[in-house]
Amino acid sequence: MVNPTKISMAALAVVVGAGPSMVFAEDKPEGFVEGSSLTLLNRNFYFNRDHRNGQSSPTGNGYSEAWSHAVISKFESGFTQGTVGVGVDAFAMIGLKLDTGDGRNGGRSSFDVLPVNSDGEARDEYTKVGGAAKIRAFDTVIKVGDVFPANPVVAAGDSRLLPESFRGVTASNTSIEGLSVQGGRLHAMSQPVSSDMRENFATFYAGPVNSPWIAYGGGD
């Protein structure tokens, strides 16, 4: 068995020995490509709801059920070097129907997992594609386009197959240590079961929000 004390002392010696060179080392500036990332999420989603009272269910039989799969890809670039850096965020998503069963899909309700036609039949697939340009100056980052805000006023919901997104301008600043300030003005959104990126505002459970735009600001 290796003595843990010896390992700890060896590690300490390495850290102390590397101290002087670490002090004078400079971090390489982040670049557009060097700071980029690409994520790919496979989400298998099953949802059912027993309404108990058949008259209150969108299918009329008291039970709603859907099984689907999503592929969600997101790309985030770094920023170009310099006092003012620019970059881009982009995403492409697809939702696929696996099984809804005859008379068991969600119809038109807050249950919806897949978009449906006028007869309440679920579509086989749907997609979302969007992106935002971003600028970084000192400790401030501004994004213009399709964004995924997360704050007490506006939060992009992600409790269905594909996430919601919003369209507008957001800004965040971290100049003061321990304080993050953010704000934004949004004029459209995309619902979880829609490919349209310019829909009116709506909440998950309280229905439509009658406003041409929403603004927020604050810090934590």
Tens-place pLDDT, residues 108-137? 554 578 888 777 778 899 999 999 999 999
Per-residue pLDDT reduced to its tens digit, 31-78: 999 999 999 999 999 988 776 665 555 556 667 788 999 999 999 999
Give the pLDDT confidence score for residue 23 in this predicted structure.
42
Mean pLDDT across the chain: 83
Give the pLDDT confidence score for residue 135 in this predicted structure.
98
Q: Which residue has the higher pLDDT, 182 or 114?
A: 182
pLDDT of residue 17 exceeding 50: no
Tokens matching residue 154? 């506006």
Where residue 22 falls among pLDDT bands split at 50, 70, 90? Answer: very low
pLDDT of residue 27 exceeding 90: no
Q: pTM for this one?
A: 0.79
Domain positions in the chain: 30-219
Give the pLDDT confidence score for residue 14 in this predicted structure.
38
Check whether domain 30-219 has CATH 2.40.160.10, yes or no? yes
